[in-house]
Amino acid sequence: MHADPEAAGRRIAELLARNGGYAASEIEPQLYVLHGNAALRHIFAVAASLESTVIGEPNVLGQVKASWRASRAAGLSGSDFEACMQWAFAAAKRVRSETTIGEGPVSVVAAVVELARTVHGDLNRCSALMIGTGEMGALLAVGLREAGLARLVVTDTHQARAEAAARALACHTLPIEGLAEAAPRADIIVGCLGGRTPVVTVKMARAAFRRRRNQPMMIVDTALPGDVDPFTERLDGVFLYTLDDLERVARDGRKARQEAVSQALSIVDEEVAAFGRERAERLAVPALARLRTHFEQERMRALADASGDADKATRLLINRLLHDPTLRLREIAGRRGENNNAELARISELLERLFIVSDESDEET
């Protein structure tokens, strides 16, 4: 935590500009500087994936932790910043566990992965067949592989394209003529060929399902025009999804996450407030320790001066503890001006709060 946040902000802007080869005046309009609770709230919200383009994106917390570790390694992370980051990580965990911010797919790729897991469960026992080499199909294939898909095969009407895609995806190829024979071995079929007529017919899908001994099949048709006969979805055990279906699932997921933002921000605000209280309490500890030491010293002096007389010792202790505060209060009260009166009122209120002194307690006594 810097003693002069404004100066620190300017210094950071200068360093960023110098590193990029720009003048500070060029990049300052692109920056914003936050101080105090606003800065804390931003850190906590970023860690909880509430400031990312995709709300609830789980990779954001990992990126924040990586930056924090880099800061520590460079010796730029002080004790206050360490405490702040640890609290931010705990707040992010609360947001994940107490809200639905991370639930539901928000992209077409995530929708395919979720639907595949719904149909087949664990993907590390599944195989997929990609028909064509279209961009969307390749994105889905990558997403499935990252989700644990065990095996992927690519086929295309042009073998050279299939082989190029297979190299990029680190998988095998299949001649397009072997499609019907390969279909029963595919738990997931992704169509991205875009021919004039469907390559996956109802007859082919029915035969594949029978040869799979009624094990479910998932077919994703991303091609325009479609690669899969739309009547295929009428077959029992065959789950056909189009791009419209996938976008609908992703849209519902984004809506659900957006609805959870308000609850997540409330948690962030709670944690920022709790961190502020904890930090204030820590800052008060040294002063309290000094106060306790002072009181103990005065107690021992009073006991010694009273020579065993408990009544005299307590009177001496009270008078000595109140001596300096009384002088300060009289000094402030003797000054003229509204500011001094306001200061005296604040001190009086603070004393009442610290020592639980009030008119009611006086009356009861």
**CA atoms within a 13 Å half-sphere pointing along the CA-CB vector of 253:** 23
As a whole number, mean pLDDT of residues 110-127 equals: 94
The per-residue pLDDT for range 188-245, each reduced to its tens digit, is 999 999 888 999 999 999 999 999 988 999 999 999 889 999 999 999 999 999 999 9
Report which of 63, 214, 220, 208 is spatially closest to residue 139, judged by C-alpha positions. Answer: 220
Q: Which residue has the tokens 């204030």?
A: 280
Report pLDDT for 364. Answer: 47
Q: What is the pTM for the complete model shown?
A: 0.62
Least-confidence region, from 167-171, 205-209, 292-296: 292-296
Domain 108-252 in CATH 3.40.50.410? The answer is: no
> Comparing 5-102+260-277 with 108-252, is the CATH topology the same?
no
**pLDDT tens readout for residues 265-286:** 999 999 999 999 888 878 777 8
Structure-block tokens of residue 82: 């360490």
3-state helix, strand, coil split of the chain in percent (to 5) is 70, 10, 25
* Sign (positive or negative) of CA dihedral 175, 180, 184, 190: positive
Task: Spell out the residues 6+ positions from residue 220 whose beta carbon is closer than 8 angstroms to its own.
Answer: 112, 140, 188, 189, 190, 191, 241, 246
Structure tokens at 24: 């500070």
Q: Kindly list the domain boundaries of the chain, sorted by start residue.
A: 5-102+260-277, 108-252, 294-364
| 218 vs 301 pLDDT, higher one | 218
Contact 99, 263 (CB under 8 A): yes
Across the range 51-68, mean pLDDT stands at: 87
Lowest pLDDT segment from 103-107, 152-156, 224-228, 342-346: 342-346
> Which amino acid type is present at position 216?
P
- Regarding the domain delimited by 5-102+260-277, which CATH topology (the fold level of the hierarchy) does it fall under? Beta Polymerase; domain 2 (3.30.460)
Task: With cut-offs at 50, 70 and 90, classify the pLDDT of residue 27.
Answer: confident
**Which residue type is seen at 47?**
A
Tokens 């189009």 found at: 242
In sequence order, the β-bridge partners of residue 241 are 220
Tell me the chain's radius of gyration from C-alpha atoms.
34
Share of the chain above pLDDT 70, in %: 96
